[in-house]
Structure 1
């Protein structure tokens, strides 16, 4: 009997060790990378408390129990939590507490920006996760362009450097068919000639990929698509008699987003930029601002010339440029990553978001109520 009990005890100990190893492996896989970013000392406990305070503590753990676990985990009492201390805290917690802690303290640590990265904007560039959104949307635009170029060639209207628009496409924005709401977004897949799509692709890849490396693809997706929407809405209000094609609304949203990032991360972008490092100087906030404003001004001037002075068969509106630029600027403040957010920047973000939403609401109401639009074409086909 004694031998059986000893064997049972040994099996229980071995099972506990196995479970502990599995838990440690899972925690290392999920959280160790975030602790590594903060260095050997770890994450400031005060910032963990502040971040959890903003997000709310899980109801599965009473506040006093959470404070106890956090205090006992900080074995050297330096008010920092490193990865080993985090593992000990998770080991002391029950299974239900461990699950709740993963959803609270783990998320908090993931969102706390390391001190080095708060000081140096360039330290935030990373390919993890990879910047895929701009690549994928560019590939989709190329595929659509090639398909319609083939169709137009078969119709005897080949695409050239500056002409060739499939006006029959259900994707292009046409005032007569504005009730087909998807056109306010899908017009970005239609381009007017090789130069049109080429310049848009260069713009969005050069501007979008660096943004994705800092702010991640999901934020850039939001700004790009809402910039496209703002572009078509601005066009529908200011130039309702002209069709709209091209991804310029999204491209200009990226320019606006860059300007917003410069405004909210001015100090971080200037970190050590005047210490004789030429590359850092080129990537400093003032230089970035000059480049982006110059890009927007030069390309908008070219678009105005093509719209009002160049003789082409199908004129394409230009208001999408300004609409996209304003969308990127207004949404960039609250949506993009702010490396070291100040109170006034958070307030500014709420203000700019409200302005964007108000502008969209006004444009939507204008589209529904304005009587000066061309007569709506309700036919099932798209001539």
Structure 2
């Protein structure tokens, strides 16, 4: 009988097979309208047979990212989405039998990777007021801890860490010889960042992605930022050509258009603020802090609402357990998309 890694054999994974292209996608924090069409058409002209037949080259994009963030190219590792960066971090620094520390609820893949690499997942729990005590996180970090994950802001709740809270966690992790990973997937919807700390500290890594604001989730481009030694370890574990040419091209061209990025930030903010105001004015319980998403509690069963909206080509997310049980999460985008969702929702959730 062939060998199968016991950490993988019975690992539960959710597979995504739904066709997403022709629906209003408000369930996974994508940009529902995507990049401007004229920009996409202009970039597509650069995709020639020769371009596609050539192995990828990262250097120009690495330099642009470095300039964009005020760091050196040696501080960056380009990855196949930030998902690959997460996996590489666990592969490099996730010692089997050690603890992974996160809050809960948070992005589900961190729990998947902890199981895949044989780590124990230790969590600090949010309260019913959607707050988490940093003291609980600090108490969870012990000499048994291998990796600490902080999403800033956290998905799905949207809360963020202050500089003082972050520094306390980094200090405690250093004393316990643990790596700290800061997932900044929603950075462009929440400006404060710990990226400069990642460059200075010996044990801090910041992750970012081009999937959210930059609207190329389908091309899978992300990156890790850290001191050169950590980046060297990560790149030793990655495959030779891990990010494709088309993804590199679009990420490069997006960064060359800061005006377009700012316009998309403002469009999302306008839609987010519009929808939040409508939900509040309608008397729903809402939690809306940071990130391109918000939570609110419907009158009817959340699963019924999700299914009825899906029949109309509008996809949102609900939760079945914990403090989020019965809550809806809606990805926010431009005002037009938000109005389409809200009109359909009100009909579905009529008392």
TM-score (normalizing by structure 1): 0.21
- Give 1 or 2: higher strand fraction: 2
The structure that has the greater radius of gyration is 1
- Give 1 or 2: higher helix fraction: 1
